Amino acid sequence: MTALLRVGLLFQVILFWGCSSGPVPPDWQLNSHDALGAFQSYYLKGDSRVAEIELERAKSELRSTGNPALVARAELVRCAVRAASLEFDACPGFEKHRADAGPEELAYAEYLAGRSDKAPGDDALSKLVSSGVRLNGGKITPSEIAAAIDVASAQGWRRPLLVWLGVQGKRAETAGDREALERIRRRIEIVTGSTGRR
């Protein structure tokens, strides 16, 4: 798989297409790159409202090129970031532009849908996306859930951290492990700021 399919680099490719040694890239490349990065950051921190504003800003810049493949790529970024937080849908924004997507985008869409496998990249987001896809396909192990929690925690990504802690908590509850469940609940309280409000 190419570097394009590493979700942490997916939106960066847009910027670097014209940056390497040539002239200064056009505004749409810089603006869409910045907006997609902001979307990712705000979404993972749990601020959906600002994240959606940034995503629309990115897509507006990309639409200005008249190139539907670029918009399809941005939609894949959206779906991947949501998958990291275990929020799956049919990726309708990408499906709208599927006919104009390239083979790498199509392959990544298949991966997000759980219809193909690929090794995650080295970056934190790729690891979380991979864990999300595995959980959605019923292929994840307890140690992989713990690893996903560690990744989200290390990055300070509130949204996926809470979701993954919730998954771990449900498993502890099902197993009757009250001690683990209480430990997980205490972590959730810290993340949500609800400690001491009982």
Residue 18: DSSP 8-state: T
pLDDT category of residue 149 using cuts at 50, 70 and 90: very high
**pLDDT score, position 195:** 64
Give the N- to C-terminal CA distance of the chain in Å, as an integer.
50
Residue 193 corresponds to which amino acid?
G
In 3D, which of 112, 4, 44, 192 has the Cα closest to residue 55? Answer: 44
What confidence tens digit (pLDDT) does each residue in 83-122 have? 999 999 999 999 999 999 989 999 999 999 999 988 888 8
pTM, rounded to two decimals: 0.85
**pLDDT score, position 21:** 56
In 3D, which of 38, 36, 41, 42 has the Cα closest to residue 14? Answer: 36
Residue given tokens 């990065």 in the structure block: 37
Q: Can you tell me the mean pLDDT for 2-8?
A: 41
**pLDDT score, position 24:** 76
Give the Cα separation of 188 and 60 in Å (integer): 36
**pLDDT score, position 118:** 82
* Domain residue limits, the chain: 3-112, 144-198
Q: Can you tell me the mean pLDDT for 123-130?
A: 94
Residue 39: is its pLDDT beyond 50? Answer: yes
